């Protein structure tokens, strides 16, 4: 087993925790809109959490510009009720629901959240091999699901009639870009 400087291990654990939190939000984006998630969108909780949990990416963070777009949705929440937003979002979700691929993507996001948490725990405890195994499992899962995820996001981006859902497709695409190390946004926004 190799050792890692304590500061580096802490940094690796912090990044893995942030990635876990971002994946948990991606699972919410994929799922049917819930009242709780829509409230968090309207109040800026989602935007602020993603800003916090992707800050490690630095100045080249592809998500930053798309997160700023959520401010428009947050700002209009004083004029439009939660019930109105829910009705519009649910109607659009039901119209575009891809029952073939969405459940697998939801499961992928949830399992990746767990793997990121296991990676963070490994780094935090100095169990480097365990952390590396969890990270490797994430890469294996990504190779299986990435193209379907890009296709799902592109379908949402192109098919939605609701601006905030288009923003969420771009945020999901930016997340996939961060995780894969590839610029996937042009494929999603084409």
Phi/psi for 101 (5° steps) reads -110, -30
Q: Is residue 1 part of a domain?
A: no
Q: Residues near 132 by Cβ (< 8 Å), separated by ≥ 6?
A: 122
Give the residue among 122, 90, 153, 97 at the shortest CA–CA distance from 15.
122
The dihedrals phi and psi of 25, each to the nearest 5 degrees, come to: -70, -35
- Cα separation, 120 vs 9, in Å, equals 9
* 158, 174 contact by CB (below 8 A): no
Q: What is the mean pLDDT of each run of 10 residues along the chain (190 residues)?
A: 79 97 97 96 98 96 94 91 96 84 93 98 95 96 95 94 95 98 94
* C-beta of residue 41 within 8 angstroms of C-beta of residue 70: yes
Q: How many residues does the chain have?
A: 190
- Compute the 3-state secondary structure of the chain and give helix, strand, coil in percent, each to the nearest 5: 80, 0, 20
Domain count across the chain: 1
Distance CA 105, CA 110 (A): 9
Q: Count CB atoms within 10 A of the CB of residue 1.
A: 8
pLDDT of residue 118: 98
Burial of 133 (0-12, 13-18, 19+ CB in 10 A): middle
HSE-CB for 88 with a 13 A CA cutoff = 13
- Single pTM value for the model: 0.94
**Domain enclosing residue 39, as ranges:** 6-189
Q: What pLDDT score was predicted for residue 143?
A: 93
In a domain? residue 185: yes
Mean pLDDT over each residue of the chain, to the nearest integer:
94
Instruction: Say how far apart CA 20 and CA 134 lie, in whole Å.
Output: 12
pLDDT at 175: 98
Report yes or no on 179 lying in a domain. Answer: yes
CA distance 177 to 54: 12
Q: Which of 62, 72, 38, 67 is nearest to 50 (CA)?
A: 67
Residues 20-30 pLDDT 10s: 999 999 999 99
Per-residue pLDDT of 63-105, as tens digits, reads 999 999 999 899 998 899 999 999 999 999 998 877 788 899 9
Assigned domain for 99 exists = yes
């Amino acid at each position: 087993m190799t050792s890692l400087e304590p500061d580096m291990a802490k940094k690796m654990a912090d990044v893995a925790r942030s990635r876990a939190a971002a994946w948990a939000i991606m699972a919410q984006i994929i799922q049917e809109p819930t009242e709780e998630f829509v409230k968090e969108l309207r109040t800026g909780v989602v935007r602020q959490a993603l800003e916090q949990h992707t800050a490690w990416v630095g100045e080249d963070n592809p998500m930053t510009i798309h997160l700023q777009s959520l401010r428009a949705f947050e700002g209009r929440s004083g004029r439009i009720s939660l019930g109105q937003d829910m009705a519009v979002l649910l109607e659009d979700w039901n119209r575009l629901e891809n029952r073939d691929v969405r459940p697998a993507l939801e499961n992928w996001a949830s399992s990746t959240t767990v793997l990121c948490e296991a990676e963070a725990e490994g780094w935090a405890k100095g169990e480097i091999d365990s952390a590396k195994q969890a990270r490797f499992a994430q890469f294996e899962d990504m190779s299986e699901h990435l193209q379907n995820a890009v296709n799902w996001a592109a379908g949402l981006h192109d098919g939605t009639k609701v601006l905030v859902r288009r923003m969420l497709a771009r945020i999901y695409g930016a997340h996939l870009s961060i995780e894969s190390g590839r610029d996937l946004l042009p494929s999603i926004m084409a």
